[in-house]
Amino acid sequence: MHPRNRYNTQPDFHVLAFKYPKFRKHVRYDKENKAYIDFHDPDAVRELSYTLLKNDFGLYLEIPNDALCPMVSLCQSCCDIDEPSTEYEICLHPNRLNYIHWIEDLICDVVSSTEDVYGIDIGTGASCIYPLLGCALNANWKFLATDAHKRLLEAAMNNVEKNNLSDRITLLLNSSNRKLPIDDVPERDYAFCMCNPPFYESVKQHEIAAANKKKPPSSTCTSSQDEMVTPGGEYQFIKDILEESLVFRRRISWYTSMIGRLETVDLIVAELKKHKIDNFVLTEFVQGKTRRWGIGWSFGNQRPPMAISQPSSRKLRHVKPPISEFVTTWDTNPTSLYFAITSILTEALVSYQRNSDSAVEKSNDFNDDSILCSGAVFVETWSRKTRRKIAAGEDITLNVETDQPLFKYAIRLEKSTEKNTEAQDRMKTKLTVSWIWGDNRNIFESFYLHLKRRLDEKFKTDKKQKIERNDKTTS
Ligand SMILES: C[S@@+](CC[C@H](N)C(=O)[O-])C[C@H]1O[C@@H](n2cnc3c(N)ncnc32)[C@H](O)[C@@H]1O
């Protein structure tokens, strides 16, 4: 679960029942007087959805009975594909929130918090849930929300109007066979597109999935197959987005989609590799027994941190995006390591600036236990070719004001919490060197290797000198 997801702790149904009379009708109490609702009852689930959206986001929602309710859709079309469950967790919409929070993290370096951020929701459904949540959470977000079904868009329009968001959410009926009809609206760039695609490739596949469920599909969902079925299933839907992205490229900074089946993750990663897109991110949204995946790719140069771009699950090891961070541990304190690094950078004519860690500052504990610095590299000064030029007296410096850097990097030094097996006073520092911007992975990697080689040399020499000094004093 994303750390900012407010459903990290279960809402108190008793409190909600007290505040919302319509919800109260669905609340029961067990022997221990604990409030619960019947998750088999679509009306109860729907009312819970309305209540939480109102209580937690100030959103008003109304969904026609023959359309997917964001929660019911999680149970019926998303969560229950393989393993039906009636647990509380999967029936709420935390995975939708996880997806929104992940996008917030993904785009935070491509947009500023003060400018308008435009996003696209492909297949917004009757609820228009992603644009509503996205706008409720982010005052500067605006959406183009599409759907292929008029009746769903009419319901979505009603929800947008009810929430006074018509100036921030534009609805578009997509009657073309494209997934990104952005040429049908006034031209602009978008920070992201997102999608919860229909999962099934045929009505039959949907019916088989429904038949495999422990409980029959509720009447709420039986008439909404067009929302869950698409030719070729979710794989084809996402592949279409990918193919269209090859044309639009940087007009959308991050192309993303939710994925409901693990097999689809493998297939989409293979497609990305086929098109030589190495700037992609993969994450896992876990909620109770339910696992969903988020995939994103970009033609831009921003390289997101590994915490956002790499899933931690071992099951996904074979599809992990290429790494953009190197981590090593050094037998010294952060300050000494920082001075060693900056002297290597200065020698290599690489600029750097020390940044403050706002989290550390906020905690009023700003000290040298954690040091951040970053910079941009314009010339590969450590390469043999450039060193030869320098030796021949050539001016290798470029006008940094006008030329694009080769890449940007960030360096983080943290006092290691690793347990020392040797003397207690031996301090260790964790060094993380991150690639944050650029399109040439090889140059960043050669920069890191140069830095590491020089640090190895320096600390080996220091150690040797220390031993020699110790030997002299003892003799
Ligand atoms: C699984 S539902 C997701 C609905 C909503 N975003 C949610 O998460 O609850 C998939 C949606 O995609 C829509 N859809 C199917 N084909 C589409 C297309 N070509 N363009 C836009 N939307 C499409 C369906 O009508 C449906 O509303």
Delimit the domains of the chain by residue range. Answer: 94-319, 325-474
Quote the ligand 1 centre to 149 CA distance (angstroms).
Answer: 8
Quote the ligand 1 centre to 263 CA distance (angstroms).
Answer: 20
Predicted local distance difference test score (pLDDT) of residue 346: 93
* 117 φ, ψ (degrees, to nearest 5): -115, 120
Q: Is 193 in the pocket of ligand 1 (CB under 6 A)?
A: no
C-alpha 452: how far from its chain's center?
A: 29
Identify the CATH class of 325-474: alpha beta
Sign, Cα dihedral of 217, 222, 228, 229: positive
Residues that constitute the known binding site for S-adenosyl-L-methionine = 96, 123, 147, 196
- Best residue among 74, 185, 196 to mutate for probing ligand 1's pocket (most ligand atoms within 8 Å of CB) is 196
Q: Is 127 in the pocket of ligand 1 (CB under 6 A)?
A: yes
Cβ neighbors of 71 (< 8 A, separation 6 or more) are 45, 46, 48, 49, 91, 92, 93
For the entire predicted model, the pTM comes to 0.88
ipTM over 0.85: yes
Closest atom, ligand 1, to C-alpha of 176: 19
Task: Classify residue 314 as exposed, middle or buried by CB count within 10 Å of its CB (0-12, 13-18, 19+).
Answer: exposed
Q: Is 179 in the pocket of ligand 1 (CB under 6 A)?
A: yes
The residues of the chain scoring below 70 in pLDDT are: 66-93, 210, 212-224, 288-289, 357-368, 397-402, 417-425, 464, 471, 473-475
Residues that constitute the known binding site = 96, 123, 147, 196
Quote the ligand 1 centre to 73 CA distance (angstroms).
Answer: 11
Q: Is 152 in the pocket of ligand 1 (CB under 6 A)?
A: yes
Q: Is 279 in the pocket of ligand 1 (CB under 6 A)?
A: no
Predicted local distance difference test score (pLDDT) of residue 379: 87
Contact assessment for residue 404 and residue 285, using Cβ atoms and an 8 Å cutoff = no
Closest atom, ligand 1, to C-alpha of 146: 21
Quote the ligand 1 centre to 196 CA distance (angstroms).
Answer: 7
Predicted local distance difference test score (pLDDT) of residue 66: 66
- Best residue among 66, 79, 149 to mutate for probing ligand 1's pocket (most ligand atoms within 8 Å of CB) is 149
Quote the ligand 1 centre to 177 CA distance (angstroms).
Answer: 13
The DSSP symbol for 128 reads T
94-319, CATH topology level: Rossmann fold (3.40.50)
Predicted local distance difference test score (pLDDT) of residue 272: 98
* 368 φ, ψ (degrees, to nearest 5): -85, 15
Q: Is 122 in the pocket of ligand 1 (CB under 6 A)?
A: yes
Task: Classify residue 312 as exposed, middle or buried by CB count within 10 Å of its CB (0-12, 13-18, 19+).
Answer: exposed
